[in-house]
Amino acid sequence: MSDAIVIGGGMVGAAIAWGLLRQGMGVTVLDGADEAQRAARANFGLVWVQSKGDGLPEYAAWTREGAALWPGFQELLAGQTGVSCGFSAPGGLHLCMSEEELDGRRGLMQRMHNVDGPGAFDMRILDRGELADLLPGIGPEVVGASLCAQDGHASPQGLLLALHRGILAQGGRILSGQEAVALGREAGLWQVETAEARHAAPVLVLAAGTGNLALGRMAGIEIPVSGLKGQILVTERTGPRLPLPTHKVRQTEAGTLLLGDSKEPEAGLDDRSSGAVIADIAARSLKMFPWLSEVNLVRAWGGIRTMTPDSFPVYEAPASLPGLFAANCHSGVTLAAVHALKLAPMIAAGALAPEIAALSSRRFDVPDN
């Protein structure tokens, strides 16, 4: 028996569980085994604001709030666990390889500036000259970039470790290798069965990434999520080369460079690296930064993103299923702080606030005629 069961100990479930514990709830996290697919361990680590929410202003506002909460969130986690999330927000660049792409960023900037929301939104377009001053060594095909002051990056491994340690430090339980195989509701409590045990709680949070499709059906709701494969390359450590992250190449605190990332809808749930995609990513990265030819690649990985039909998050609290909540998004690092510090308190209070009502999957229920 707990106050809340969270299914999924990835970036989304761990952030929510940590936040529920801060609200004084007793929390059990049920997670997959070590070899389970986890987007949380495969991602690029951007805390990215500039392009988030184009077409859904509530998501843009939610993202901006999440980025603004990140510094305090990192401080709380470090104070509690001693683990650094490696977060910094020096601004972020989207490099453009054609005038057409740069025009597209101008249009995006216009639309994003029109979104109301907390915090100033500071995005501007840099021509090639301005960009070269900021980032020496760009390739001849780079025509310019969009720069957003709110963008940043973090260490996904540090974040996940800090969240897991923070959950344990607050008295929460993380049960690994305990996949939920059946869900039900009895006498006002949610019952979750694993191969080994039965758990019960008045509050159940489904935060199992792509696993939410099956779990939602067990609980009686349709959560429209699917997987989208992405691959990333990692170089050896180098001295400081990139003072700020770009959307496709960033330098980690440790000095390695991450080169990303593919989008492979046809790959299904196969998360293995593949030679052709590695070659594509390397070639595109070299066009952006020709000096990368002097740096050795040391590693590559693949992962499966959790996507919704319009790529915006889905948060559910169906009125017909009291105590049930579901959360899915494809930007679990960007939104970690807002999940921990805003979404979790809403769940603890028993209802999602109107500010995120637009992020329910009801937005897909459009009549045919």
Q: According to CB under 6 A, which residues from 294 to 313 bind ligand FAD?
A: 303-306
Nearer to ligand FAD, 132 or 214 (CB): 214
Q: According to CB under 6 A, which residues from 187 to 216 bind ligand FAD?
A: 207-209, 211, 215
**CB 15 to ligand FAD: min, Å:** 8
Nearer to ligand FAD, 172 or 332 (CB): 332
Give dist(CA 246, CA 151) in Å, integer: 9
Side chain identity at residue 132, one-letter code: A
By CB under 6 A, is residue 180 in contact with ligand FAD?
yes
Q: According to CB under 6 A, which residues from 219 to 258 bind ligand FAD?
A: 230, 232
By CB under 6 A, is residue 46 in contact with ligand FAD?
yes
Nearer to ligand FAD, 70 or 289 (CB): 70
**Binds ligand FAD (CB under 6 A): choice among 329, 343, 344, 352:** 329
**Is 41 in a helix, a strand, or coil?**
helix
Nearer to ligand FAD, 81 or 178 (CB): 178
Nearer to ligand FAD, 105 or 250 (CB): 250
By CB under 6 A, is residue 278 in contact with ligand FAD?
no
Nearest to 166 by CA among 306, 15, 24: 15
Nearer to ligand FAD, 81 or 306 (CB): 306
- Helix ranges (H only) for 190-274 are 212-219
First to last CA, the chain: 47
**CB 321 to ligand FAD: min, Å:** 17
Kindly calculate the radius of gyration of the chain based on its CA atoms and give it in whole angstroms: 21
Name every residue whose Cβ is closer than 8 Å to that of residue 211 and which is 6 or more positions away in sequence: 7, 8, 32
Which strands, in side-by-side order, build the sheet including 314-316? Answer: 173-175, 27-30, 4-7, 203-206, 324-328, 314-316
Nearer to ligand FAD, 238 or 273 (CB): 273
Q: Which residue is nearest to ligand FAD (CB)?
A: 10
By CB under 6 A, is residue 338 in contact with ligand FAD?
no
**CB 100 to ligand FAD: min, Å:** 24
Structure tokens at 117: 């929301």
Give dist(CA 356, CA 353) in Å, integer: 6
CB 153 within 8 A of CB 45: yes
By CB under 6 A, is residue 10 in contact with ligand FAD?
yes
**Binds ligand FAD (CB under 6 A): choice among 58, 65, 151, 261:** 261
CB 317 within 8 A of CB 325: yes
Q: Choose the stretch contacting ligand FAD; rule: CB under 6 A; options: 63-71, 72-80, 327-335, 354-362.
A: 327-335
By CB under 6 A, is residue 332 in contact with ligand FAD?
yes
CB 228 within 8 A of CB 263: yes
Q: E strands within the chain?
A: 4-7, 27-30, 46-47, 92-96, 123-127, 144-148, 152-153, 173-175, 182-186, 189-193, 198-201, 203-206, 226-235, 249-251, 257-259, 297-307, 314-316, 324-328
With vertex at residue 330, the alpha carbon angle to CA 10 and CA 236, rounded to the nearest 5 degrees, is 75
Q: Choose the stretch contacting ligand FAD; rule: CB under 6 A; options: 30-38, 77-85, 91-99, 347-355.
A: 30-38
**Binds ligand FAD (CB under 6 A): choice among 4, 5, 6, 11:** 11
Nearer to ligand FAD, 64 or 330 (CB): 330
Q: Give the binding site for ligand FAD (CB under 6 A).
A: 7-13, 30-32, 36, 38-40, 42-46, 179-180, 207-209, 211, 215, 230, 232, 261, 303-306, 328-334
